Amino acid sequence: MSALTSEILFEKFQVIEVLKKDEHAAVFLANHVYLSKKIILKVLNTLKMPDPSMVERFKREAKILAQLDHPNIIKVFDFGMSKEFFYISFEYIEGESLRTVFKTKTLTQEQKEHLMIQFLKGLDYAHKNQIIHRDIKPENIFIDKNLNVKLGDFGLALSAEDNFVTNPYSIIGTPSYMSPEQVRGAKLTAQSDLFSAGVVLFELFTGKNPFLKDNVSLTLNEINSFDENLLEEKLYGVQENIKKIILVLLKKNISQRYDTAEEILDELNVQIDQPTIVVRNVNREGTKSKLAWMLIIVIVLVTAGIIFYPRIKEDQPNSAKQNADKNSLQQSNDQQNQIGIEKKQGEPVKDQVDLNKINQPLDNTKTQQQAQNENQKNNDSSQNKSLGYGWLDVKCFPYAQVFINADNFGTTPIKPLIYLPEKEYTVKLVHPDYPPYTTTVLVKADQITQLKFSFDSVMGFISFRVNPWGDVYINNERKGQTPLSGFFKVVPGAVKITIKNPDYREIDTVYRVKARDTLRINFALKKK
């Protein structure tokens, strides 16, 4: 590329900075003279390329990107030939790749979903224009300072008009993001891109690539032979609706994956043409600066306390000390009285062991029976002085009635936390639309034990595609007329499916669905 030494290239690009350069190709940050804006300029020396296919890849990228005009896909301004040089000018993104974001930023759940939605919109647009990317990975997804997503590097992409310029059955792409059919060298479809998108989203929400191994051979073998159930275990802690989407994207069987990215956006209740809301970017340096200032403030306050506390203590009158001790004691009693089980309106409060008699009558006059009961409680308390207490925090989606050792403790969210003696308990969670869930938990003294559960994790999911159309019934309950977006939750077991269309034969069948199954069922109706 020694011939490219002029400050103005191809009579319209003013070079600002050389980003990459060798004897075959170069990448510049430049100013487009006619557009008066910064651009990225890729230049290829067609005479010195050791691999002629690289020239075809370069031209294909220019041709494909020139067809695409979408806010989540990098724009091509122009391309052309000048002597032996082929060039493309792209829009300049003041940002970094998603790979760099993974390494340098900490994203909130909201920001991750924001990136996910934009990425899927860009991919859906490409697919609707008959473009298969074939190299979806974090390095080819670019993020600007406002967390706007741009999908780029379509050098390996295929369009409907390409007629497979490169061998369609060769293995092309980045190994740890390939689909199983891509690994086998099979003909690729948009669903192959969606599998790769699933890997990217898996990494976005967990921080790890599920298939990456020590070398290429092991990685490709993992993609061909991975256990889908084990994959679900690796998504522990990921929000249920996001987890389900990723698991469907990563189905080995193409027919069980989503057909389009728009289907996923439908499940997220996002319209394809709905503008995405800008989410404030995460700036690590800014965060560090804030933390540094907070630390300085804390140090100053602590130092001031150390200097002035002894003097305040010495000057405090005895009566003030007594009042402070009295107030402290009263505050402690008040706090203890607040710990317990929230009483649901209309239900009796459950008996508690030595909780400072939170249910003690306001009337000071005690009946004989009340005195006996109090004595019995005091005896129980003295016998169990060695028994500590802890807290149980139950979080359940969407909600549940909580039974502990058969006692009803109310409906989640339960606040304040449930205060219990230290031991193992049987906890049952009940929701009217789901099968009940029972487990055991060990409450430890002076600790908060958390029980987190989502009822979706014990359900199965079914979606339908009916040709030409049909009314869908699940267990004799009408769900609507196709096309239907999203999945229907079903209780695991035998599920009766009925499809009705007055001009076609009725379908009446039964599917056996397991917990966490995601079935995509296609029906082709037959004339009567």
Q: What token pair was written down for 229?
A: 């159930």
- The answer to whether the beta carbons of residues 28 and 137 sit under 8 Å apart is no
Catalytic residue among 22, 51, 78, 135: 135
Question: 457, 400, 403: which is closest to 432 by C-alpha?
Answer: 400
Q: Cβ distance 85 to 44 under 8 Å?
A: yes
Element housing 236 (H / E): none
Q: Pairing relation of β-strands 518-524 and 460-467?
A: parallel
SS3 202: helix
Tens-place pLDDT, residues 279-300: 444 444 444 444 555 555 555 5
CATH of domain 1-92: 3.30.200.20
Q: What is the DSSP string of 365-383?
A: ---HHHHHHHHHHHHHHHH
Give me the DSSP letters along 131-157.
EE-S--SGGGEEEETT--EEE---TT-
CATH 3.40.640.10 fits 389-456, yes or no: no
Q: Contact at 8 Å (CB) between 427 and 403?
A: yes
Give the residue carrying structure tokens 């965060």: 287
Q: What is the DSSP letter of 401?
A: E
Q: Within 10 Å of residue 382's Cβ, how many Cβ atoms?
A: 9
What is the number of helices (H) and of strands (E) in the chain? Answer: 12, 25
**214 carries an active-site annotation:** no
Same fold: 389-456 with 459-524: yes
Q: At what angle do helices 109-128 and 190-206 cross, to 10 degrees?
A: 170
pLDDT digits (tens, 9 = 90+) for 67-114: 788 899 988 888 888 888 888 888 888 889 999 999 998 999 999 999
Query: Would you state the pLDDT for residue 136?
Result: 92
Please tell me whether residue 191 adopts helix, strand or coil conformation: helix
Per-residue model confidence (pLDDT) at position 163: 36
The answer to whether the bond into 71 is cis (omega within 30° of 0) is no
- Residue 343 is given by DSSP the state P
Q: Is the dihedral of CA 306, 307, 310, 312 positive or negative?
A: negative
Residue 336, helix vs strand vs coil: helix
Q: From CA 188, how far away is CA 421, in angstroms rounded?
A: 60
- Alpha carbons within 13 angstroms on the beta-carbon side of residue 8 total 5
Where in the chain are the domains?
A: 1-92, 97-282, 389-456, 459-524
Element (H, E) at 338: helix 318-338
HSE (CB half, 13 Å, CA atoms) of 202? 26
What top-level class would CATH report for the domain 459-524?
A: mainly beta
Burial-class residue 60 by CB neighbours within 10 Å (0-12, 13-18, 19+): buried
Low-confidence residues of the chain: pLDDT under 70: 1-6, 50, 154-173, 274-387
Q: What is the pLDDT of residue 359?
A: 37
Alpha carbons 229 and 51: distance in angstroms, whole number: 42
Q: Coil, helix or strand for 433?
A: coil
* Single pTM value for the model: 0.52
Phi and psi torsions of 203, nearest 5°:
-70, -35
Q: Are 200 and 136 in contact (CB under 8 A)?
A: yes
Go through 246-284 and write b for each residue having 16 or more CB atoms within 10 A of its CB, e for each that does not. bbbbbbeebebbbebbbbbbbbeebeeeeebeebebeee
Backbone φ and ψ of 409, nearest 5°: -105, 10
Instruction: Record the tokens describing residue 76, joined without a space.
Output: 């091509």
Please say whether the beta carbons of 462 and 488 come within 8 A.
yes
Look up residue 210 and give its two tokens.
């599920």
CATH of 97-282, one of 1.20.1640.10, 1.10.510.10, 3.40.50.2300, 3.40.50.720: 1.10.510.10
- DSSP 3-state of 434: coil
